[in-house]
Amino acid sequence: MVKFNIIKSLLIVVVGIISTSVHGQKDPVDYVDPLSGTHDSRWMMFPGAAMPFGMVKLSPDNERRGWKAGYEYDVENISGFSHIHSWTMAGLLTMPTNGPLKVIPGEEYNPDLGYRSRFSHDNEVASPGYYSVQLDDYDIKAELTSTTRAGFQRYTFNNVDSARILIDLQIDSEYSYELFNGVITKVSDTEIEGFSMHQSLRGAGYNEYTLHWVMKFSKPFTSMNGWTRDGVVRNIEEIFSGWDHSDIGAFVNFDLEEGDEVLVQTGISLVSKEQARLNLTKEIIEPYGWDFDAVRSNARTTWNDLLKTIEVESSEEVNLKKFYTNMYRSYVGRTIWNDVNGKYVDMYEKVQQLEDPDSPIYGGDAFWNTFWNLNQLWTLATPDIANKWVKSLLEIYDKGGWLPKGPTGIEYSSIMVASHEVPLIVSAYQKGIRNYDVEKAYEAIKHVQTTPGIAHKAGGFVGNRQLEEYMKYGYVPYGAGPSSNTLEYAFDDWTVSQMAKSMGKIEDYKYFKGRANNYRNLWDSTRLYMNLKMEDGSFKPDFSPFCCTTFLGSGWCEGNAWQYSWFVPHDLKGLISLMGVDTFTQRLELGFEKSKPWRFNSESTHDNSLFSMGVLPINHGNQPNMQAAYLFNYARKPWLTQKWSREIMDVYYGLGPKEGWPGDEDQGQMGAWYVMSSMGLFQMRGGAAVRPVYEIGSPVFDKVTIHLDERYYTGKTFVIETINNSKENKYIQSAKLNGAVLNKPWFYHDELVKGGKLTIVMGPNPNKEWGSCETCPPPSMSSEE
């Protein structure tokens, strides 16, 4: 069996090499580098094996617990391979070892204290759905692949002295967790199973979950052993942690010969061990048996099929690598939490059943400002996934009575500010993505925008924390919470108004459109900035554009007044009338000039990440002003949008472990911004208007072909073709849409999805006549009925 698998693996590699040389091109999946950005990255951005939104994210860990724990490229040892890398959630690590027994991981800068192993990046391979590394201290090759809900590992032992595989249930992670009960049981000499009850920490105390798992081995083990806080126990049938937050782990020993492989298959579930076994059976055992390479091939094909929905062409391979790596990130960070048959655990810890198991329930961080990145990509490239996200949000609304900001597991997280799941739902609806109960969707978004937030009886906080004050005063007073929530709530109000208008709910349309003007209540005409406003209507004294960064306290949420003064995506015409067009453009351009030396990333300026978020004008490394480059389109200076969107793509976005993303790549948001911008497309209003538009930036590719999903869009393809494009030729000289001259820097979404072609002629100098006429700016609330 081992020899057959080795021969089969070699044949796969040879066929791949021949195919590439014959056809002279790579598949989109070949350009993805999962190691990119793994220096200083988040727990959810990992180099290991996962499927799109996979429950199993099987990846190496090497950092101590804390912010941005997980895998750090500069730490050249590995503590093991854990199965969950989701926001605030972790668990179930495996590690093959030999020699003297060690049951603690040790320290990242002193690996000899535990079971860690050194490794070399020269012997490390990462691609979508596959990861491998040589563990030097043990002379073991580890390979990982996965399906959505099951992991598959292949360990090749070259040193067989005391060969064993460790299973550790208490591990380091970004948010950390308390393990308050765990059990590992021997089922047979080739199978073990277990569960562990977790309480997430570090501000995620609302999140409790039980991880159930079943693990099968391709070879029989000679004994099962384990450890708890009280020490090591041997030759056991079961080990129990106790109820006192104890450590717990197990290790199985093998009698091997040099070069032997041990394959490990693991199914997981938040429901039960029976469900974990079902996930493993349906996703790996029945379709693939013990064929590791077939599972790896399936993962590669799945990713390639997703990535090739957008085909890009460029003579610069770096552009292809950036594009597909960023697109990959946009679909890997968040998580499917239902089992293969549709069962899942809701916020009350009750088992529920999805009506359609193929339309999953998702978890992840908040949708904070995803209207500037993920919403645009998901609804354009994969509208069926966008549809499923809406159905997932409505499933949670059904069970808990509220839309979630960002469900972790399936818990109300209360994370971040505003309720920007609303723009996601509205954008899907406005683009004709409506395979769900649209009346319920409207009911849900209206509810969250009219009902003050509360502590939910199942845990966490739901709704908008300062909505009561916002509705009373028309703004969030300084002292009540982040004043910036005024701007965030006003944008969400506008999106509700647009869905109401599309559905013929005219009274609601007028009401929410009126509230969308509340952004004006923070405008300080003496400063020409948004300002912190007191309850009595006066502005806070001692104004500074770079003052008062906060998280959930008083001030500007993870930003500053400079950044939030632009946060009126729904009505930039109105903002320009307040600020004055000259102040608008001059201040904005000066902000870009000042921020470029820092790579448009505030984290480069200070060790304290919250403080640093308020230091620079342009901070692309966080959410509040990722729209900045596209603001110039609204001020009749689109050549500056072209210039600065290119600068961000060239300066902020890099390649490789250390240059990939200098900021907080929050589950694909930065990745999706790059994907859209590199095609030359952006949606300031997140596609939530009655008739959504795409603004045009500076496409980096010679040709982009978007393959449209015929289940939602009538056109087969939309092509964006550039002439004379290069790194220097970043400026648009002229454009045609379906053969007709296009003199404005935007066009309608419905024109794109009917299929067709956008042709753009590029040059090294700005054409200040193109797109700058009085009627050229994209639509704003003030210019619409």
**H or E stretch covering 93:** strand 89-97
Does 707 fall in a domain? no
Cβ partners under 8 Å of residue 488, min gap 6: 417, 418, 420, 557, 567
Query: Does the structure show a pLDDT above 90 at 606?
Result: no
Phi/psi for 545 (5° steps) reads -60, -20
Give the count of beta carbons closer than 10 Å to the beta carbon of residue 744: 20
Q: CA 280, 71, 57 angle in degrees (round to 5)?
A: 20
Query: Does the structure show a pLDDT above 50 at 132?
Result: yes
Q: What value does the mean pLDDT take over residues 568-586?
A: 98
Q: What value does the mean pLDDT take over residues 547-554?
A: 93
Confidence of residue 414 (pLDDT cuts 50, 70, 90): confident
CATH number at residue 113: 2.70.98.10
pLDDT (0 to 100) of residue 4: 42
Q: Do 234 and 225 meet the contact criterion of CB atoms below 8 Å apart?
A: yes
Does 312 fall in a domain? no
First and final C-alpha spacing in the chain: 71
Ranges 239-253, 454-468, 630-644: which has the least confidence: 239-253
User: Which of 541 and 666 is assigned the larger pLDDT?
Assistant: 541
Cβ partners under 8 Å of residue 504, min gap 6: none
Domain count, the chain: 1
Q: In this structure, are strands 164-168 and 177-188 parallel, antiparallel, or unpaired?
A: unpaired
Q: What value does the mean pLDDT take over residues 175-179?
A: 91
Buried b (16+ CB within 10 A) or exposed e, 457-496: ebbbbbbbbbbebbeebbbbbbebbbbbbbbbbbbbbbbb
pLDDT (0 to 100) of residue 202: 87
Ranges 199-203, 315-319, 349-353, 651-655: which has the least confidence: 199-203
pLDDT tens per residue, range 206-215: 999 999 999 9
Q: What value does the mean pLDDT take over residues 583-596?
A: 98
Query: Does the structure show a pLDDT above 60 at 12?
Result: no
Token pair of 117 as six digits: 């192993």
Query: Does the structure show a pLDDT above 80 at 23?
Result: no
**CA–CA gap between residue 358 and residue 339 (Å, rounded):** 10
Query: Does the structure show a pLDDT above 50 at 639?
Result: yes
Q: What is the pTM of this model?
A: 0.95
**H or E stretch covering 264:** strand 260-269
Q: Do 632 and 646 meet the contact criterion of CB atoms below 8 Å apart?
A: no
Q: Do 611 and 622 meet the contact criterion of CB atoms below 8 Å apart?
A: no
Query: Does the structure show a pLDDT above 50 at 347?
Result: yes
Cβ partners under 8 Å of residue 439, min gap 6: none
pLDDT (0 to 100) of residue 24: 59
Residue 461: strand, helix, or coil: strand
Token pair of 393 as six digits: 């949000």
Token pair of 441 as six digits: 């969707």
pLDDT (0 to 100) of residue 22: 36
pLDDT (0 to 100) of residue 245: 67
In terms of residue numbers, what domain contains 278?
A: 50-307
Q: In this structure, are strands 223-228 and 231-233 parallel, antiparallel, or unpaired?
A: antiparallel
**CA–CA gap between residue 273 and residue 563 (Å, rounded):** 49
Ranges 74-78, 227-231, 635-639: which has the least confidence: 227-231
Where do we find the tokens 């079971």? 115
Does 284 fall in a domain? yes
Token pair of 132 as six digits: 């491998």
Q: Do 744 and 771 meet the contact criterion of CB atoms below 8 Å apart?
A: yes
Q: Among residues 84, 76, 139, which one has the least CA distance to residue 110?
A: 76
Residue 720's Cβ-side half-sphere holds a number of Cα atoms within 13 Å equal to 27
The average confidence (pLDDT) of the chain is 94
pLDDT tens per residue, range 497-523: 999 999 999 999 999 999 999 999 999
Does 1 fall in a domain? no
pLDDT tens per residue, range 699-752: 999 999 999 999 999 999 999 999 999 999 999 999 999 999 999 999 999 999
Confidence of residue 243 (pLDDT cuts 50, 70, 90): confident
The most distant pair of C-alpha atoms in the chain lies apart, rounded to whole Å, by 81
Confidence of residue 246 (pLDDT cuts 50, 70, 90): confident
Confidence of residue 357 (pLDDT cuts 50, 70, 90): very high
Q: Residue 50: exposed, middle, or buried by beta-carbon count in 10 A (0-12, 13-18, 19+)?
A: buried
Does 382 fall in a domain? no
Q: In this structure, are strands 89-97 and 238-240 parallel, antiparallel, or unpaired?
A: unpaired
| Alpha helices by DSSP H, 648-707 | 669-678
**H or E stretch covering 142:** strand 140-146
Does 612 fall in a domain? no
Does 596 fall in a domain? no
Does 263 fall in a domain? yes
Q: What value does the mean pLDDT take over residues 759-781?
A: 98
Give the count of beta carbons closer than 10 Å to the beta carbon of residue 783: 13
Q: What value does the mean pLDDT take over residues 42-57?
A: 95
* Sheet containing strand 746-748, strands side by side: 681-682, 693-696, 746-748
